[in-house]
Amino acid sequence: MKNETKEGNITAEQIAEWKKKSPTGKIHRLAVKDKDGNSIVGYLKPPGREIKATALSMFSQHKLLECGEFIRDNCWLGGDERLKIKGDIADSAAIKASGIVEFLEAELGEV
């Protein structure tokens, strides 16, 4: 158990393996504090284009919770399953997961 972390029972070796497989070389750590202040941790891979497209469609319909649930569930690598199934913990994780989609600053105008 010396390789086990407190981070959702995921080892540093597993995190390194996920990073190797990620097209960006990155993964995301998702953490929610429970009512006792304990951190509940899971890991997400970066979303691909199809996941982003579906999530943004939900977001544009003001379905923020569903958008986050979709991202969390489809990008899930591992960690504490309570982030996916336990009431307020799962809802908080979903809302936070919706922030995984990043946009660069862009401009659009007539010429």
Tokens of 44: 């997400």
pLDDT score, position 4: 41
Domain count, the chain: 1
Residue 25, amino acid:
G
Q: Percent of the chain scored above 90 by pLDDT?
A: 57
91 occurs within a structural domain? yes
Range of the domain at 67: 12-100
Say whether pLDDT at 105 is over 60: yes
By the 8 A CB rule, do 97 and 30 touch? yes
The string of pLDDT tens digits covering residues 9-50 is 889 999 999 999 998 899 999 999 998 998 999 999 999 999
Separation of alpha carbons 86 and 96, rounded Å: 15
By the 8 A CB rule, do 80 and 72 touch? no
Q: Which CATH number is 68's domain given?
A: 3.30.2220
111 occurs within a structural domain? no
Handedness of CA 12, 16, 84, 36 (dihedral sign): positive
84 occurs within a structural domain? yes
6 occurs within a structural domain? no
